[in-house]
Structure formats: structure tokens, C-alpha cells
């Protein structure tokens, strides 16, 4: 459907890449820092790139006041250059140019949190992807790499700490109570990795010995009063440094590595060279404010940013279409880091399952909607809209497939070759693939389609057993749905890790015609490359149950018809823990989908004992890691169930899922109570894998128990809330209480607990975010309640964490309330997207995506959603960010 009221903004095309007309060798910057008005002096030594078709010297700038411009010492007049919107062009410039540019900027007016901005009186930068152009005119593109020297000057009282990339080479006092610090980054870098921080901060620091024996200074900088929350980030940083040395032979290349935490940040964190800047959410932790999930998040984000030092900074992207080159690879690396730290087989599987859950719930959904794009997109309007789960998480899956195809050592060889070839360069996804192909001698030509084709492939399975010949055939057929701009897809190169189970659930040795070298193995990676392919297995004594796509070896949907009994066998026995979990999810989804349909016809709901008993056995299986049992007992989310329907009924899905949860509790109450009691973690809080696993199972048990509660189970939650010695247990109890539908007296008690929680933690922003989040996602919270919470003095739209905690959580994680039949949820959404658009386009565009899948809802809801989308689209001064998202949604 076309919508004429929306003008799709101008897209940038990958095919139109032109090398820069000029390179920049060195950049010397001088900052006179001040919240209201900062002066930026920039001296660039530039040299013509004779290989480029671009003959002009082209710079980008945004929201800058140009004070002065000199070329080779001569002040340029208006007629010597052209400014057209955000482009400054100098024609007929000589081959060797020294450009000196002075600009004036206003950090305190910058609410976009991109460029140089103010945060609680401190000055912070965020330059990826195109924020450097808000600081000075510059060829702000990642293929222009230069050496930076940065002089920072500011009032010493207001800005006692002055940080930038690289090494501190000089510092001292100036007149009028001012001081300076001079920084030099020894490595060439693209402008998006530039950073500075100025303000009142304190740090935890430590000298750390690197593999080579060299010592590096590690610092974690936070606001005053937060030094009791930096230890975990510091520990995570040290583990990251060690891990990259050991797993990839990559050492820290700087003498100083700094992390700075700020409460005003658009995303998770940023890998600026030597000066990583983080959202406080991914730095600050101690047992009283952070949950186990927060601890794990910090470890993985600290790792992620640190790992970028090699995958992103030393080797960077030629252009932003290659974003997944650094992001997909670095997510893969942080996933492996977290898995290696746990170490055990089930521990690794737990991590894998958690990652795949996100991929399926968010990325598969993106792939099926109007914003679907390949891992290496062909076009974009606003690059900030392409920091997506497809670029990050699907990108990581693509890297993981090389790992699966080439093996542990083969992958390492490929990485080594990649660095050998491209250290210090800005390259493309194809260069990474070439390194993997050339180091292994494998033909990875077809593998390229994982980068160029969007959409989630489907693999369907048909099997045939021949008892007489003792052969078992597995026929795999692949397809991929159309996505915007891509009608037809070609077959992908899909690694399918698999095994075959006998009637006892044991793996049988595999003798596949196509893989003679692996004869007798019980685990095999078969490669699907054609549209349809049959794999024959010999010496199969009785009809087996196939276990396919083990460890989720490819980001595809596997269509396979299992009976409940076959799934039960896999659920109880598969040697691959991922597929054990997967079998359970299939059993649950099957029932949840059926119950949702039953609800729509008004018949009575019921749940079979067979399923409940399978869950009981797992819950009580002491040989299984409690973290794994927690996953096995967690039902697919409402969003996940919705994916099984062509037309989504969020209320019915919610009711069906609640029915299943309540029924499970009704039958397993004693078992759940037993699990609750036997998985306590008394004593000092410890965020290690074993304690976290216990808490996760215990708190899952608690949340189930309150689905079919009596006085005693309610009191159990209330007691846990009151007496919890850590935030994990306190928040879990409060969530259970908040979601509980009890007597009036109990409701009152729950409300009192919420108030208490607020009072106790009102000085901790990250905990208040949790307080909003809990309420935003509670089933009892409707649109009216959200509006009421927005009036709370602690609420503000200008802080992204706070906006996300209430607004994003309501729109994205409370489907049965957000999709209210009267469209009031969508009206609220439109108001907020429009309000955020003025404050912070990046954040606004993220919220705008909540209506991406509007075509999947009943026509009544669709009409309301379309109106809301049109309202946003018709807004004056709509940012490119929001315009791209809503125009693509409306075009669906
Ligand atoms: N490169 C960062 C990462 O993956 C994320 C990032 C991109 C970012 N753009 C940003 C962070 C803008 C903050 C703001 O770790
Ligand atoms: Zn990243």
C-alpha cells in the first residue's frame, strides 16, 4: 500500500560509494570547554587522494557556527567555499592542504546526546556514527583515518578532569583558574572513535600486567559517590584483556585504558579508542542495586567494547554499510567470552539459549517487518536506524557459522589472517569472508548471500526410514520469504549440526554418504547449499529421532513435524542441551497456540498431564544445572507465541499463557516450593555462575507460585521482598507481588512494597529505572496508569534510560495492554514519538519501531495503528530518523 502523505527521505546507497577526495594525516584540536559555548579549533593536514573520482575537498558539519576557516595559512572568504546544508565544499584546492577551522558549539543545548553534550554538568562526546560533524567540519566517514592530538582547556573547578583518547602527554595550569590537558593518540583512527570527557569524576584504577610483560593503567571513571560500584566493571575489564590474549592472541596496544560512565547515553556503550564511554547501566553494580542480569550485562558489554579495540578500531569499516563487520564479529566475541567464563557445557548452552531467544524474538521479527534489511544493507536514510539486531545479533550468527564450518582452530587461522592483512585499514565484510576462505582453502562464495539477502530462511524436513536397507534419509528444503526490495532469494549455505537418537534417546553413530571422513561420529555438521538436498545415513538399525540444528547452528526456522512423544524423547535425552530446551519450547508453543485458538472460540481451556509431568521431571532433575532447568521451565514469551500466528490477538495470547502458568503451578506446587526452598543462597552475595543459577531457578519458582497463590505463598514473596540481601531477590519478589492478582488486602500490601522500594532507592537512578520498568510491564498497568506514571516527579523523557524504563517497556513488553482495543496505547505512542523527536531523534526512532508489525494485527487495531503512524508522519520538523521508520512502516 502506498501512502501519499509521507515522503520517504533520501536514501544513501552502498553501490554509490566513492573514495574520499582527500585523506587526513593529522588532526590537532584545541577545545575551550564550556557548557554553554565551546570553541573548537581544528587543524588538519590533508592530502589529495588521486585514486578518487571526487576532486573537491568535502567536509560535513551539523549545528556548527563557523568562526574561521583558513587554507594553507590564508583566511578563506565566503566565495572560496560553498556550504550546502550539511556539506562544505572547496573546489580547486591544492594537493597538499592544511585546513584550520574554528567552530563554536553549544553543548548544553544539545539534547540529542550525539556530538558534544552536557550530562549533569560534565561534558561528554558521542561520535559514532556521525556525531563528529557536530563538533567540527570534517570528512566524517570511517575510511578517513588520522592521528589525533587534542588540547583540552577548561575551568579547573568545574572541570577538574580532562580526558581524551590515547596518552596524556602534558597537563598544567593556565590563567583565570583554568587548566589544560594534552592528549595524543598514537594510532590512526576514524573520527567516529574520537572522544573527550571533561568534568567532575572520580576513578578506580589499577596497573595491569599484559602478556608481553608491559603494564597498562586501567581506570573506571564515575560520578562522585559511585566508587562503591566500580569493582565488577574493573574485574570484567581485566578478564576481557586476558581473554583476548588467550583466545585470539590479541594484546592491549595502549598504556592506558579508560572507561567512563554517564547516566545520559543513547545506547549501551561506545568503544572510543582508549576512552570507552558507557551508559551507567553497564558499569555500576553492587549487590544492593544490581541484579544478576545486570552483572552479566556489565561483563558482556565491558568485554564487547574492549574487544572492539581490535575488531572495529585496529581494523575498521570502510563505510557504514559494513557496520556488521565490526558489530557482528564483536558480538560473537563477547558471546564467546561470556560462555568461556562459565566454562561448563551446560553453562555455555545456557548462554547460547539466552542469545538465541533474543535473536528469535527480536531479529526474526525485524526480518519479517518493514525495516528488514540484510546484514550488509544496500541503502539507508539514517545510519543510526541501522544499529539493529540484524547487524548485531544476526551478524554474530553469521560469524558463528564460519566458526561452525571451519572449527575452532580453522576460525582462529582466519582471524589471524584477517589481522595480518588488514591491521590499520578500513575494510569491507567481503574482506573478512576472504580471510576465512583463504586461510581454510574453503569456497565461501555462496556464503556471501548471508550478507546480501534479508529475511529468515526456513528449512523444512522430510525423513524416510528404510528398515530393510537400514538407511535413513533426511531431505532438507530451504526457502526465504520476500523482504522489502527483495522479492526472490537464492539458496543459502546453511550448516546444520545434527545427530540421530535411538529409542532410548542415545546418539547413534552416523554414517553419512556425503561425509565419509566423519564416519562413526555422533555429531555432524551437514551443509545445505541447494534449494533441496537429501542426506542419506547408513547402518541405522531402527527408525531414529533426528536432532537437527544443534546448538542453533544457523539463524533459520526449522519446520519439522515431531510427535509429542518424539519431542518428549528429545526433551529428556538429547545430548545437545540446546535441542533439549528447543524440544520443550516446541511442546509448550504447540499447546499455547492451541489454547489461544480455543479461547477465541470460547471453549473451555485444558492442559494435558503428560506435558505437566515432563516439566515436573525436569524441575526435579537434580543432575541438571539449575540455570538450565530455569530455561527449560520458562514458557515462550507472548511475543514469541505471536510469531506463530498470521493475525495476532495479544489478549488471547496473554490469557492462554497465564492459564498455562497457573495450571502448571496448580499441579506442581509442592515441587516448586521444594525448588524454592532448596535453591536459597544464604550468606554474602556472590555473582558467580553457581549462585546466579540457584537464584534464577528459585525466583522462577516464586513467580510460578504466585500464579496460584494462597496466603502462605503470597507471604513468601512478601517476606523475600522485605528480607532480601541483594537486588536480584528483592526485585524478583517485588515483580511477583506487582503482578499478583490477589485480595484487596494483598493488593494494598503490594502497593506498599512498591512505595517502599521507591523510597529506599530514590537516589539510585538505575534502581528507579527498575521501579518504572516493573510497573510498565505489569499486566495491571494500562494506558491510564502509564500516563499517571509519566506525571511522577522522577519521570523524564529527556533521559533515555528513564524513557526506556517506562515508555519503551510498556510499548514493547506489555502487549496485552499496549494493544488496547480502543487504540489508546497507539495514541500515547504517537504523542511520545513526537515529543521525543524534538528532544532526541535517535531515541524517538527506536520507539517509533514499536508499530513496525502493525499489519499483523486484526483490522480494527490496524486502523488505529495506521492513524497513529500517519499522525507521526505528518508532524512538522520530523527527523530523518523517525521519518525513515514510519514511512517504511506505512509502506508495508
Ligand atoms: N558502537 C557501539 C557498540 O556497539 C554502539 C553505538 C553506535 C553507540 N552508535 C552509538 C553508542 C551511539 C552510543 C551512541 O558498542
Ligand atoms: Zn559494538
- Asked whether the predicted pLDDT for residue 758 surpasses 90, the reply is yes
For residue 301, the CA-to-ligand 1 centroid distance in Å is 11
Average pLDDT over residues 277-302: 98
Nearest to 538 by CA among 526, 523, 520: 520
Going by alpha carbons, the residue nearest to atom 10 of ligand 1 is 128
124-136 tens-digit pLDDT: 999 999 999 999 9
Q: Name the phi and psi angles at 100, rounded to 5.
A: -120, 120
Cell of 86: 550539511
What pLDDT sits at residue 4? Answer: 42
Strand pairing partners for 673?
A: none
404 pLDDT higher than 60 = yes
Chain centroid to CA 121: how far? 29
- Dist. CA 818 → ligand 2 center (Å): 31
CA 688 to centroid of ligand 1, rounded, Å: 28
Instruction: Give the three-state DSSP class for 114.
Output: coil
Average pLDDT over residues 354-382: 98
Task: Confirm or reject: Cβ of 854 under 6 Å from ligand 1.
Answer: no
DSSP at 311: B
Q: Is 771 near ligand 1, meaning CB less than 6 Å away?
A: no
Domains identified in the chain and CATH numbers? 14-278+301-307 (2.60.40.1730), 318-452 (1.10.390.10), 458-554 (2.60.40.1840), 560-708 (1.25.50.10), 762-892 (1.25.50.10)
Q: What is the pLDDT of residues 208-228, one digit of tens each?
A: 999 999 999 999 999 999 999
Q: Is 327 in the pocket of ligand 1 (CB under 6 A)?
A: yes
805 Cα to the center of ligand 1, angstroms: 19
Closest residue by CA, ligand 1 atom 3: 270
Residue 7 has pLDDT above 60, yes or no: no
Beta-carbon contacts of residue 868 (< 8 Å; ≥ 6 apart): 823, 826, 827, 829, 830, 851
Q: Please report the beta strands in 331-392, taking only residues with DSSP state E, as ranges in sequence order.
A: 379-380
Check pocket membership of 266 for ligand 1, CB cut-off 6 A.
yes
- pLDDT over threshold 50, residue 3: no
Position 741 confidence tier, pLDDT thresholds 50, 70, 90: confident
Give the confidence band of 643 by pLDDT, cuts at 50, 70, 90.
Answer: very high
Instruction: Supply the pLDDT for residue 406.
Output: 98
Residue 820 CA to ligand 2 center (angstroms) comes to 36
How far, in Å, are 468, 823, 856 from residue 863 at the CA level?
Answer: 59, 9, 12
Question: What are the distances in angstroms from CA 329 to CA 301, 395, 801?
Answer: 14, 7, 26
Report yes or no: 790 and 781 within 8 Å, Cβ to Cβ. Answer: no
Q: What is the mean pLDDT of residues 94-106?
A: 98
Which phi-psi region, left, alpha or beta, contains residue 7 (left: φ > 0; alpha: ψ -120 to 50)? beta
Burial of 593 (0-12, 13-18, 19+ CB in 10 A): middle
Ligand nearest to the Cα of 128, by number:
1
Q: Which ligand is nearest to the CA of 271?
A: 1
CA of 212 to the centre of ligand 2 (A): 26
**pLDDT exceeds 90 at position 321:** yes
Name the closest-CA residue to atom 5, ligand 1. 270
pLDDT for 718: 98
pTM for this entry: 0.98
Nearest atom in ligand 1 to 330's CA: 4
Kindly state if the Cβ of 305 falls inside 6 Å of ligand 1.
yes
Choose which residue among 116, 189, 266, 390 to substitute to test ligand 1 binding: the one with the highest number of ligand atoms within 8 A of its C-beta: 266
**In the block, which residue shows the cell 587548566?**
179
Secondary structure in 3-state letters for 386-417: HCCHHHHHHHHHHHHHHHHHHHHHHHHHHHHH
The helix (H) or strand (E) run that includes residue 199 is: strand 196-199
- pLDDT score, position 602: 86
Confidence of residue 147 (pLDDT cuts 50, 70, 90): very high
Ligand closest to the CA atom of residue 124: 1
pLDDT of residue 2: 42
Query: Average pLDDT over the chain, rounded to whole?
Result: 97
Q: Which atom of ligand 1 is nearest to the CA of 301?
A: 15
Task: Please give the distance, rounded to the nearest whole angstrom, from the Cα atom of residue 267 to the centre of ligand 1.
Answer: 6
- Catalytic residue of the set 62, 130, 223, 305: 305
Q: What is the pLDDT of residues 257-273, one digit of tens each?
A: 999 999 999 999 999 99
User: What is the pLDDT averaged over residues 733-748?
Assistant: 94
User: Is any atom of ligand 1 closer than 6 Å to the C-beta of 697?
Assistant: no
CB-CB neighbours of 430 under 10 Å? 15
Atom of ligand 1 nearest to the CA of 131: 12
**β-bridge partners, 22:** 48
Q: Whose CA is nearest to atom 13 of ligand 1?
A: 267
* Atom of ligand 1 lying closest to residue 128 CA: 9
Q: Which residue has the cell 520507539?
A: 847
Whether the CB of 130 sits within 6 Å of ligand 1: no
Residue range 57-82: mean pLDDT, rounded: 98
Check if 128 has its Cβ closer than 6 Å to any atom of ligand 1. yes
| 305 belongs to the catalytic site | yes
Report, as an integer, the average pLDDT of 2-31.
86
**Which residues touch 424 (CB under 8 Å, ≥6 apart)?**
145, 188, 314, 315
Nearest CA owner, ligand 1 atom 6:
270
Query: So what's the pLDDT on residue 600?
Result: 87
Phi, psi for 843 (deg, rounded to 5): -70, -40
Q: What are the pLDDT digits (tens) for 830-854?
A: 999 999 999 999 999 999 999 999 9
**Ligand that lies nearest to the alpha carbon of residue 115, given by its number in the listed order:** 1
Atom 1 of ligand 1, nearest CA residue: 270
Q: What percent of the chain has pLDDT over 90?
A: 98
Are 284 and 764 in contact, with CB atoms under 8 Å apart? no
Q: Is 270 in the pocket of ligand 1 (CB under 6 A)?
A: yes
CB 148 within 8 A of CB 45: no
Distance 127 CA to ligand 1 centre (A): 9
Ligand 1 binding pocket includes 271 (Cβ within 6 Å): yes
- Cα–Cα dist 54/52, whole Å: 5
Amino acid at each position: 500500500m502506498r501512502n501519499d502523505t509521507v515522503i520517504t527521505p533520501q536514501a544513501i546507497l552502498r553501490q554509490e560509494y566513492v573514495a574520499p577526495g582527500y585523506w587526513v594525516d593529522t588532526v590537532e584540536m584545541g577545545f575551550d570547554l564550556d557548557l554553554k559555548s565551546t570553541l573548537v579549533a581544528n587543524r588538519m593536514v590533508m592530502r589529495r587522494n588521486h585514486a578518487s573520482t571526487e576532486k573537491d575537498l568535502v567536509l560535513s558539519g551539523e549545528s556548527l557556527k563557523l568562526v574561521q576557516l583558513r587554507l594553507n595559512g590564508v583566511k578563506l572568504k565566503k566565495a572560496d567555499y560553498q556550504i550546502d546544508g550539511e556539506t562544505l565544499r572547496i573546489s580547486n584546492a591544492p594537493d597538499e592542504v592544511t585546513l584550520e577551522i574554528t567552530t563554536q558549539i553549544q553543548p548544553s543545548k544539545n539534547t540529542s546526546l550525539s556530538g558534544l553534550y552536557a550530562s549533569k554538568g560534565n561534558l561528554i562526546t558521542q561520535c559514532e556514527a556521525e556525531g563528529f560533524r557536530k563538533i567540527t567540519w570534517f570528512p566524517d566517514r570511517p575510511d578517513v583515518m588520522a592521528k589525533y592530538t587534542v588540547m583540552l582547556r577548561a575551568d579547573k573547578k568545574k572541570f577538574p578532569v580532562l580526558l581524551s583518547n590515547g596518552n596524556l602527554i602534558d597537563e598544567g595550569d593556565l590563567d583565570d583558574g583554568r587548566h589544560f590537558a594534552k592528549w595524543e593518540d598514537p594510532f590512526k583512527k576514524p573520527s567516529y572513535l574520537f572522544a573527550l570527557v571533561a568534568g567532575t569524576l572520580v576513578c578506580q584504577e589499577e596497573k595491569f600486567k599484559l602478556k608481553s610483560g608491559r603494564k597498562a593503567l586501567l581506570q573506571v571513571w564515575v560520578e562522585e559517590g559511585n566508587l562503591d560500584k566500580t569493582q565488577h566493571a574493573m574485574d570484567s575489564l581485566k578478564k576481557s584483556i586476558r581473554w583476548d590474549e588467550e583466545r585470539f592472541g590479541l594484546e592491549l596496544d595502549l598504556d592506558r585504558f579508560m572507561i567512563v560512565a554517564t547516566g545520559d547515553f543513547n545506547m549501551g556503550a561506545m568503544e572510543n579508542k582508549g576512552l570507552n564511554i558507557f551508559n551507567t547501566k553497564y558499569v555500576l553494580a553492587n549487590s544492593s542495586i544490581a541484579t544478576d542480569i545486570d552483572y552479566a550485562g556489565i561483563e558482556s558489554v565491558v568485554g564487547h567494547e574492549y574487544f572492539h579495540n581490535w575488531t572495529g578500531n585496529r581494523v575498521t569499516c570502510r563505510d557504514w554499510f559494513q557496520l556488521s563487520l565490526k558489530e557482528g564479529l564483536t558480538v560473537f566475541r563477547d558471546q564467546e567470552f561470556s560462555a568461556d567464563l562459565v566454562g561448563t557445557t551446560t553453562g555455555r548452552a545456557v548462554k547460547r539459549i539466552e542469545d538465541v531467544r533474543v535473536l528469535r524474538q527480536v531479529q526474526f521479527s525485524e526480518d519479517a517487518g518493514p525495516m528488514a534489511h540484510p546484514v550488509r544493507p544496500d541503502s539507508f536514510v539514517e545510519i543510526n536506524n541501522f544499529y539493529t539486531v540484524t547487524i548485531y545479533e544476526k551478524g554474530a550468527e553469521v560469524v558463528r557459522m564460519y566458526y561452525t564450518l571451519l572449527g575452532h582452530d580453522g576460525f582462529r587461522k582466519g582471524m589471524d589472517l584477517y589481522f595480518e592483512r588488514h591491521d590499520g585499514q578500513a575494510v569491507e565484510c567481503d574482506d573478512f569472508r576472504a580471510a576465512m576462505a583463504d586461510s581454510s582453502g574453503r569456497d565461501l562464495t555462496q556464503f556471501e548471500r548471508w550478507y546480501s539477502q534479508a529475511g529468515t530462511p526456513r528449512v523444512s524436513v522430510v525423513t524416510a526410514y528404510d528398515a530393510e536397507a537400514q538407511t535413513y534419509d533426511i531431505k532438507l528444503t530451504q526457502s526465504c520469504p520476500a523482504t522489502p526490495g527483495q522479492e526472490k532469494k537464492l539458496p543459502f549455505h546453511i550448516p546444520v549440526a545434527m545427530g540421530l537418537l535411538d529409542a532410548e534417546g542415545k546418539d547413534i553413530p552416523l554414517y553419512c554418504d556425503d561425509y565419509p571422513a566423519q564416519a562413526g561420529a555422533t555429531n555432524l555438521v551437514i551443509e545445505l547449499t541447494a534449494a533441496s538436498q537429501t542426506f542419506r545415513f547408513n547402518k541405522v538399525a531402527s527408525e531414529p529421532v533426528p536432532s537437527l540444528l544443534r546448538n542453533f547452528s544457523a539463524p533459520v526456522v526449522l519446520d519439522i513435524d515431531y510427535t509429542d512423544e518424539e519431542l518428549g524423547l528429545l526433551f529428556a535425552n538429547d545430548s545437545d542441551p540446546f535441542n533439549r530446551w528447543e524440544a520443550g519450547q516446541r511442546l509448550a508453543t504447540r499447546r499455547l497456540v492451541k489454547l489461544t485458538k480455543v479461547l477465541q472460540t470460547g471453549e473451555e481451556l485444558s492442559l494435558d498431564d503428560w506435558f505437566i509431568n515432563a516439566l515436573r521431571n525436569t524441575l526435579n532433575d537434580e543432575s541438571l544445572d539449575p540455570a538450565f532447568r530455569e530455561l527449560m521451565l520458562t514458557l515462550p514469551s507472548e511475543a514469541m507465541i505471536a510469531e506463530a500466528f498470521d493475525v495476532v490477538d495479544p489478549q488471547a495470547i496473554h490469557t492462554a499463557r497465564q492459564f498455562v502458568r497457573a495450571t502448571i503451578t496448580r499441579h506442581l506446587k509442592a515441587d516448586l516450593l521444594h525448588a524454592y526452598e532448596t535453591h536459597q543462597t544464604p550468606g554474602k552475595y556472590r555473582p558467580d555462575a553457581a549462585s546466579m543459577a540457584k537464584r534464577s531457578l528459585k525466583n522462577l519458582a516464586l513467580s510460578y507460585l504466585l500464579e496460584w497463590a494462597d496466603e502462605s505463598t503470597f507471604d513468601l514473596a512478601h517476606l523475600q521482598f522485605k528480607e532480601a540481601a541483594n537486588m536480584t531477590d528483592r526485585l524478583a519478589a517485588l515483580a511477583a507481588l506487582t503482578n499478583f492478582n490477589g485480595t484487596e488486602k494483598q493488593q494494598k500490601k503490594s502497593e506498599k512494597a512498591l512505595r517502599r522500594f521507591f523510597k529506599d532507592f530514590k537516589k539510585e537512578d538505575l534502581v528507579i529505572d527498575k521501579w518504572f520498568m516493573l510497573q510498565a510491564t505489569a499486566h495491571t498497568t494500562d494506558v491510564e496508569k502509564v500516563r499517571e506514571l509519566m506525571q511522577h516527579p522522577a519521570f523524564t523523557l529527556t533521559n533515555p534510560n528513564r524513557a526506556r524504563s517506562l515508555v519503551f517497556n510498556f510499548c514493547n513488553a506489555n502487549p496485552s495492554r499496549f494493544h488496547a482495543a480502543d487504540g489508546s496505547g497507539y495514541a500515547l505512542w504517537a504523542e511520545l514519538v513526537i515529543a521525543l523527536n524534538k528532544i532526541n531523534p535517535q531515541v524517538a526512532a527506536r520507539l517509533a519501531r514499536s508499530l513496525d508489525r502493525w499489519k499483523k494485527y486484526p483490522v480494527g487495531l490496524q486502523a488505529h495503528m495506521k492513524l497513529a503512524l500517519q499522525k507521526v508522519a505528518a508532524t512538522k520538523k520530523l527527523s530523518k530518523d523517525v521519518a525513515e521508520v514510519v514511512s517504511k512502516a506505512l509502506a508495508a
